[in-house]
Amino acid sequence: MKRNLLILPGDGIGPEVMEQVVRIVDWFNNKKGFDFQVEQDLVGGAAYDSNGVPLSDETLEKAKRTDAVLLGAVGGPLYDQLDFSLKPERGLLKLRKELDLFANLRPAQCFDALTHFSSLRPEIISGLDIMIVREATSGIYFGEPRGIIESDSGGRVGINTNRYTTEEIRRVARSAFELARRRYNKVCSMEKANVMESGVLWREEVTNLHKEEYPDVELSHMYADAGAMELVRFPKQFDVIVTDNLFGDLLSDCAAMLTGSLGMLPSATLGKIKKSGLPYAMYEPVHGSAPDIAGKGIANPIACILSFAMALRYSFDLGNEAEILETAIESVLADGVRTADLMQEKNKAPATTNEMGNCIISKLNETL
């Protein structure tokens, strides 16, 4: 059975970490008899450099046709001066919008070997397992009107609009409830219903859907500011958190850092189910392009490899294979192998990106 992957390494450390993912895909093909077909293309600044746009129509078409998109990272200081519409980030946002990838799943999980790595005390975060479901195709990222206009009284006005429809809220809330049923059965919905109408509607629609279809799931609501505070005070109270695009952007960075390193966290962004029975899907590490360390071969490839594990689980229904990969990573960490972002002992040399890849592959070989 052929399974198609479109790999978009992007900018900064994207290509370096993605190289390790390709090795893992090859391992599954060569050692486990899978038939993953990998195609690579450009996105972000890399696409701008060669095509003058951060995402070409041809790449977008490929993304629509493939089974799963794996994206590295986009952006970098070289592109700071570009017009808004040409910035690398627009490539990523266009993929989310055009593929209608409304449910952005961002797990914040703490590996046992890294509990001392968080800025919080180990007992606060050990065993942490949160899933943030962030709406990703609407809200203030895309709402109209938007822009910068001249104001009547002189000067300028910057405008963005937070807009959500019933359907947009319900479909992402449905994803959250479905996920909760397969986890610890709890959903906490976050908005600012105390100050925003879009928040009032969000809370009402989530409550209605819960009553109609998911009464067995425990539902709570929090204002997003209080939610941010609770995330750092007592994060283990949460199972699934569902929230809008902008709050989800902030809260997921906060949750990610609870675990000590952004270099560890994967994400999946899922849309509607296609005729093939698979969802439109894109997988990417939560970390960015990290221009300060790009090209040095020292970036942590784990978040990107774990994103491929999420692809195995959500796009290909290969939960066992995902687990094999996750266990291999866990045991490499338990052995004390660390890339520079995870180093505390200054007397040991950190593993390079490629060495981390080697270690993970050796662990995989031990399972054969």
Active site residues: 141, 192, 225, 249, 253
The angle subtended at Cα 291 by Cα 286 and Cα 293, nearest 5°, is 95
Determine the interface stretch with ligand IPM among 48-56, 87-95, 236-244, 351-359 (rule: CB under 6 A).
87-95
Contacted by 92, from Mn ion, ligand IPM, none: CB < 5 to 8 Å by type: ligand IPM
Helix-, strand-, coil-residue percentages of the chain, each rounded to 5: 45, 20, 30
Q: How many helices (H) and strands (E) does the chain have?
A: 12, 12
- 140 is a contact residue toward ligand IPM (CB under 6 A): no
CB of 339 to ligand IPM, least distance (A): 21
Site for ligand IPM in 175-234 (CB under 6 A): none
CB of 253 to Mn ion, least distance (A): 6
Contacted by 11, from Mn ion, ligand IPM, none: CB < 5 to 8 Å by type: none
Residue 145 preceded by cis peptide, ω within 30? yes
The residue to which tokens 């002189």 are assigned: 154
If we measure between CA atoms, which residue out of 329, 325, 310 comes closest to residue 68?
Answer: 310
Burial class (CB in 10 A: 0-12, 13-18, 19+), 202: buried
Contacted by 89, from ligand IPM, Mn ion, none: CB < 5 to 8 Å by type: ligand IPM
Determine the interface stretch with ligand IPM among 88-96, 176-184, 318-326, 360-368 (rule: CB under 6 A).
88-96
CB of 286 to Mn ion, least distance (A): 7
- 49 is a contact residue toward ligand IPM (CB under 6 A): no
Our CB check for Mn ion shows the closer of 285 and 357 to be 285
- 89 is a contact residue toward ligand IPM (CB under 6 A): yes
The crossing angle, in degrees rounded to 10, of helices 57-65 and 88-98 is 40
CB of 18 to Mn ion, least distance (A): 19
CB of 92 to ligand IPM, least distance (A): 5
Residue nearest to ligand IPM (CB): 89
- 93 is a contact residue toward ligand IPM (CB under 6 A): yes
Which residues, at least 6 apart from 7, have a Cβ–Cβ distance to it below 8 Å?
18, 21, 22, 38, 39, 40, 41, 69, 70
Determine the interface stretch with ligand IPM among 6-14, 85-93, 156-164, 166-174 (rule: CB under 6 A).
85-93
Our CB check for ligand IPM shows the closer of 172 and 351 to be 172
Our CB check for Mn ion shows the closer of 164 and 247 to be 247
Our CB check for ligand IPM shows the closer of 93 and 226 to be 93
Cα 317 to the center of its chain, rounded Å? 19
Rama region for 178: left / alpha / beta (φ>0; ψ in -120 to 50; rest): alpha
Binder of ligand IPM out of 8, 18, 55, 92 (CB under 6 A): 92
Would you call 284 helix, strand, or coil by DSSP? strand
67 vs 4, 46, 97, CA distance in Å?
5, 23, 17
- 98 is a contact residue toward ligand IPM (CB under 6 A): no
Do residues 136 and 95 touch, judged by C-beta distance below 8 A?
no
- Distance (Å, whole) CA 88 – CA 86: 6
Residues within the interface to Mn ion (CB under 5 A):
249
Site for ligand IPM in 243-282 (CB under 6 A): 249
First to last CA, the chain: 21
Our CB check for Mn ion shows the closer of 291 and 350 to be 291
The residue to which tokens 């950190």 are assigned: 350
Our CB check for ligand IPM shows the closer of 91 and 301 to be 91
Residues in the chain: 368
CB of 352 to ligand IPM, least distance (A): 26
Do residues 196 and 143 touch, judged by C-beta distance below 8 A?
no
Our CB check for ligand IPM shows the closer of 249 and 326 to be 249
Residues lying near ligand IPM in the complex (CB under 6 A) = 89, 92-93, 249
